[in-house]
Amino acid sequence: MRESLFENMVKSAGDAIVFADKEGVIRVWNRGAEKIFGYSEAETLGESLDIIIPEKMRENHWNGYTRAMESGRTKYEGKLMPTKAIKKDGGSIYVEMSLTIIRDDTETKGALAIMRDITERWLNEKEMKKRLEELESRK
């Protein structure tokens, strides 16, 4: 019963919950991820994380991902990190992401990311910063 409860909680969460194995292959994709990124679970399971990572960010992403899988740790653990992502329609969004490396007793299994779309907030803050800079330059 407990396992099915956890499975239902993950599937039903409004935030995107994505788990990728050590190779960066998507193994869990919930309804929140479907809503945010536009891909169904069936379209993503077995696919690379590259489907949501902007091309210009992939090299840095994979370098960090490989280090995290080898060490079983990431410097982002326990932190909320804003980053850019891409949706199925090719549009860019900003997400706030928390990342956890998943291990069992013997090895690293992969990475769990919980993400929330912050595009509107990000763009509003960017616009406010721009306006503030303009006002300060008038002094």
Single-letter amino acid code for the residue at 62? W
Is residue 86 within 8 A of residue 54, CB to CB? The reply is yes
Is residue 101 within 8 A of residue 72, CB to CB? The reply is yes
**pLDDT classification of 134: cutoffs 50, 70, 90:** confident
Question: What are the tokens at 60?
Answer: 């840095």
What does pTM read for this prediction? 0.86
**pLDDT classification of 123: cutoffs 50, 70, 90:** confident
- Model pLDDT for residues 64-93, shown as the tens digit of each residue: 999 999 999 998 888 999 999 999 999 999
pLDDT at 3: 79
Q: Which of 1-5, 48-52, 69-73, 103-107 has the highest mean pLDDT?
A: 48-52
Mean of pLDDT values over 90-118: 94
- Model pLDDT for residues 14-57, shown as the tens digit of each residue: 899 999 999 999 999 999 999 999 999 999 999 999 999 999 99
Is residue 25 within 8 A of residue 48, CB to CB? The reply is yes
Q: Please name the CATH architecture into which domain 2-137 falls.
A: 2-Layer Sandwich (3.30)
Is residue 88 within 8 A of residue 39, CB to CB? The reply is yes
Distance between CA atoms of residues 117 and 100, nearest Å = 18
